[in-house]
Structure 1
Amino acid sequence: MTSTNATAPAKLPAGDIPWNHYRMQKKLSDHIVDVIIWLLLAAIVVIITYPIWFILIASVSDQNAVNLGKVTLLPVGFNWDGYREIFADTRIWDGYRNTIVYSVVGTALNMLVTLPAAFALSRKELGKVRRVVLFFFSLTMFVSGGMIPTYLLFKSLGLVDNWLVFILPSAVNVYNLIIARSFFETAVPEELFDSAKVDGMSYGGYFLKIVLPLSSAVIAVVALYYFVAHWNEFFTGLMYINDDSRKPLQNVLQAILLSNQTGAEGSASLDAAAQQELADKIKYGVIFVSSLPLLVIYPFLQKYFNKGVLLGAVKG
């Protein structure tokens, strides 16, 4: 008599296919496609990362070798002369300090203004009013007062040679506002607001206690956009800041680069080649020094960045 206690293989739910079974079922054409995909991904990684790597190795290489095309994957004639010259200038530490302050304080103010405004514009209760407000916001992306009227306005407000010129005029970026509004409008279920309203929660409580905790992705994206914009700020310091102690990093690096370039052009013939080589090293070093903090920060925000861009830009 056949035993009925024999253990039968467990059945997987529909749609759950073991990975080993899936690998056994793959055909030769599937393996070829996988190889092509991996090669394309590797090529994209190389295309993106090689320029950064080249700038790094060129900044510590002999510039004659760089000019002759001998520097490709590894440094040639390794030395730190360019970075030594950059960091020997005390102005760079003032520039780093200023840029960090402007970026952190500016980003905090940006988020404090942008997120509530985006949430308000995402609410359907405002009706046609929100479209009118958004239209005037969007109009500033295409129409501006011009350089001279803007300078006169900032001067009359006391923002010339004032560090607040980096903070207040850029308190809201309309592009980031639209991204955040689209996210709140499409990614946060309206049923959550209905439940909150039943519990007697106000709009402010709903925004702070429910919407913001669910919006970490778009918050990271918008914050990164704002931080990068503040970190790369160059034109504002060039136009409105005359005091060297208040200039951001980008303006300081430009001053260091120009001073060394001018020194190379005005030096005697015997020293001209050496001065020019040092100026070229500083040129590459300046690019890497200004980009390094962002390269360090971005990997920690990458997963939020990718998710936030996809969720926040689905609908306009």
Structure 2
Amino acid sequence: MTAYIVFTMFFSGGLIPTYLLVKNLGMINTMWALIIPGAVSVWNIIIMRTFFQTSIPNEIQESASIDGCSNLQTLWKIVIPLSMPVIAVMILFYGVGHWNAYFNGLIYLNDRDKYPLQLFLREILIKSEVDNMAGSMDLSVQNHLMETEAIKYAIVIVANLPVLMLYPFLQKYFTKGFMVGAIKG
């Protein structure tokens, strides 16, 4: 089963088949075109599988079964509470991945009102680069360039602020979950 999953990581359909699939599903110009194609990452599945195999002993699951827990009760009462480190890491990976993604929005969205923040940031960065190349060196143009640079840096800080605010809450889980599968001495 792992070989089939890993095969899709190395040999994906590509940009054009993915675009045609999203178009045929009627997701062009919707938020679902940004969410669903990147909803599951094979690498993250491998990290979670490794965590489950190495960190949750089978004896705990067997004792829950002997005590009368069903598979669903074992999942909710034992496996998920013990899996908080890897769940926190996955939340952080997916959150940062979707927050920083601009390419899917560039490909799948036509309506400017539905653009994610990163596309607006991209437009501002491109516009400031064009202004820098086109401007002459008189004092008013230099002041304008300094203002656009300040706005550009402020927008970069504002765009990264939510992720920076999320990280301290997940930090204690991050080290535990990220080191899954590492060599332990």
| Other-structure match for 2:167 | 298
* 1:181 matched to 2:58: no
CA–CA distance in structure 2, aligned partners of residues 289 and 207 of structure 1: 38
SS at match of 1:207: helix
User: Residue 75 of structure 2 corresponds to which residue in structure 1?
Assistant: 207
Query: What is the 5 A alignment of 1:255-270?
Result: 255-263=123-131, 265-266=133-134, 270=138
Between the aligned partners of 2:129 and 2:40, the Cα distance in structure 1 is: 37
Q: Say which of 15, 30, 47 aligns to 1:147.
A: 15
TM-fit CA distance, 1:269 = 6.0
Query: How far 1:145 sits from its partner (Å)?
Result: 1.6
RMSD value, Cα: 1.9
Higher percent of residues as helix: 2
Listed one character per residue, the Cα deviations across residues 78-128 of structure 1 (whole Å, up to 9, x for unaligned) are xxxxxxxxxxxxxxxxxxxxxxxxxxxxxxxxxxxxxxxxxxxxxxxxxxx
Structure 1 residues 18-167: aligned runs within 5 Å: 132=1, 134-167=2-35
Q: Which residue of 2 aligns with 1:243?
A: 111
1:216 and 1:151 map into 2 onto residues whose CA distance is 35
- Cα offsets for 1:211-253 (capped at 9, x unmatched): 1111111111111111111111111011111111111110011
1:138 deviates by 1.1
CA distance in 2, matches of 1:193, 1:219: 19
* Kept after mapping to 2: 8 A contact 1:182/1:314: no
Query: Residue by residue, what CA displacement relative to the aligned partner does 1:187-208 show, whole Å, maximum 9, x if unpaired?
Result: 1111111112212322221111
In 2, Cα distance between equivalents of 1:140 and 1:290 = 32
Q: Which residue of 2 aligns with 1:274?
A: 143
* Cα distance in 1, alignment partners of residues 150 and 51 from structure 2: 44
SS of alignment partner, residue 68 of structure 2: coil
Gaps of 5+ in 2: none
> Is contact 1:260-1:275 (8 Å) kept?
no
Match of 2:95 among 206, 227, 245: 227
CA drift at 1:173? 1.0
User: Displacement of 1:164 after TM fit?
Assistant: 0.3
Match of 2:75, as an amino acid? F
Provide the C-alpha distance between the structure 2 equivalents of 1:159 and 1:233, rounded to a whole number of angstroms.
Answer: 17
The structure with more radius of gyration: 1
What's the offset of the Cα at 1:136? 1.6
CA distance in 1, matches of 2:22, 2:51: 33
Shift of 1:305: 0.3
Residue 260 of structure 1 and its aligned partner are, at CA, apart by 4.1
Moved over 3 A (4+): 259-271
Mapped contact 2:33–2:104 kept (Cα < 8 A): yes
Structure 1: distance between partners of 2:155 and 2:8 = 33
The CA deviation at 1:258 is: 2.9
2:10 and 2:105 map into 1 onto residues whose CA distance is 23
Structure 1: tracts of 5 or more residues without a match: 1-131
**2-side partners of 1:193 and 1:261: how far apart?**
58
Whether 2:153 is the aligned partner of 1:284: answer yes
Distance 2:60 2:147 in 1: 61
Percent identical pairs in the alignment equals 43
